[in-house]
Amino acid sequence: MGLTVAGVVGILPIAWNTDDVTYRFGTVSWFVPVLAIGIIATALAYVLGIASTRLLGSRLASFIALAEVVAALLLGWLLLGQLPNLLQGLGAVLVLAGVVVAKLGEPAASVSGDPVLDFAETP
């Protein structure tokens, strides 16, 4: 919303076109990335985010969400050929270390909290 307002006001120059999009592996029509953003980056990510938060717990899920930055760095490198610099690499390592520390700090749970799973595990 903020970017839209900044574009309408003229603070941020915004432009779009229907030219083909060139990636490292080839060229695709403009609607392919638009569909990918709509389906993969929005709808699928939303559903998987809800499911993973339920499975991992809120604490670990919040730290793993930080891995989005690392994924963006890797995808930029693989798809667009944007080589990360040393500072970006250090940031990625720190994010991953934070995820590991958060996981190690979680208490071990003997009960999953899911009645179906708990019933299945009882002798």
Q: What percent of the chain has pLDDT over 90?
A: 19
Query: Of all helices (H) and strands (E), which one includes residue 24?
Result: none
Q: What percent of the chain has pLDDT over 70?
A: 85
Residue 83's identity, in one-letter code, is L
- pTM score above 0.75: no
Which tokens hold the place of 96? 């991953």
Q: How far is CA 61 from the centre of its chain?
A: 12
pLDDT at 105: 75
Would you give the end-to-end CA distance of the chain in angstroms? 54
Q: Which residues contact 52 (CB under 8 A, 6 or more apart)?
A: 61, 64
Residue 83 in contact with residue 77, Cβ under 8 Å?
yes
Q: What digits encode the pLDDT tens for the residues 64-117? A: 777 777 788 888 888 888 888 888 788 878 877 887 887 787 666 555 555 555
Nearest Cα to Cα of residue 37 among 27, 29, 45, 26: 45
Name the pLDDT band for 32 (thresholds 50, 70, 90): very high
pLDDT at 1: 83
Give the per-residue SS3 of 57-100.
CHHHHHHHCCHHHHHHHHHHHHHHCCCCCHHHHHHHHHHHHHHH
